[in-house]
Structure 1
């Protein structure tokens, strides 16, 4: 059995986060000792690892709780669990596209600065020196 402190070191989660996850019911197999301290066995660690991965994928605590509850119901909920995962996948793909657009913008901006540095273009990046009719794209 592992304490919160030991689990924190094992999984790279803060003690606060572990307590929060257990308080939210995301680790159904967590046990308590005579002093009401949380104790974790291998099954509890597996739940925490799963929660950690889902959280890193951007899933909300509420959605993770729904997922955990469905897992506890068993095989009959596989379709619903699949739906939750597919919803999160769609969200992650949308975020990826947004990140690609931001990276493209920054690449274009960096290239623009290189043209200024190499004196191909005048410095038009300082908002204090923009003319009234200058395009907003900079």
Structure 2
């Protein structure tokens, strides 16, 4: 099993994230813009392999955990299923032997987002055309 430092290198742009547990679920959720329920749900699916707990068994998130949560949420927002996210996390924990498979997964998600962006841009262009049409028509009717 890979250690947290190896995972941090893969999620932190500068390779440095604090591993000190310091945020409650509520505080972490607020920082991330997610619900506490979502964080608890992700944890119940073992998507936070390094999450620590206090003496009362309450979850405590570190900066590294928050960045990990951002990655999970990014994958989910790119329409990756929970099952596939779990598989991705498992691959991360297996270490560098799975780099090729993880690269393939991330590349597929990148293409999914590119396709979504293209579709959204096309929809936006149509809406802007219709908006301009209505604005121009409205101007001419009110002359």
Larger radius of gyration: 1
1:39 and 2:60 equivalent? yes
Once the two structures are superposed, residues 56-96 of structure 1 have per-residue CA deviations (whole angstroms, 9 ceiling, x without a partner) of 44433222211111100000111111111111111111111
**What corresponds to 1:131 in structure 2?**
none
Which of 63, 73, 96 in structure 1 is aligned with 2:94?
A: 73
1:109 and 2:118 equivalent? no
Cα distance between partner residues in 2 of 1:100 and 1:7: 33
TM-score by length of 1: 0.73
- Larger mean Cα displacement after TM superposition, 92-101 or 45-54: 45-54
Which protein has greater RCO, CA pairs closer than 8 Å, 6+ apart? Answer: 2
Instruction: Supply the RMSD in Å over aligned alpha carbons.
Output: 2.2
Once the two structures are superposed, residues 72-129 of structure 1 have per-residue CA deviations (whole angstroms, 9 ceiling, x without a partner) of 0000111111111111111111111111211121122123213422438xxxxxxxxx
Contact 2:78 2:112 in 1 (8 A): no
TM-score by length of 2: 0.71
Offset at 1:42? 4.3
> How many residues are matched?
120
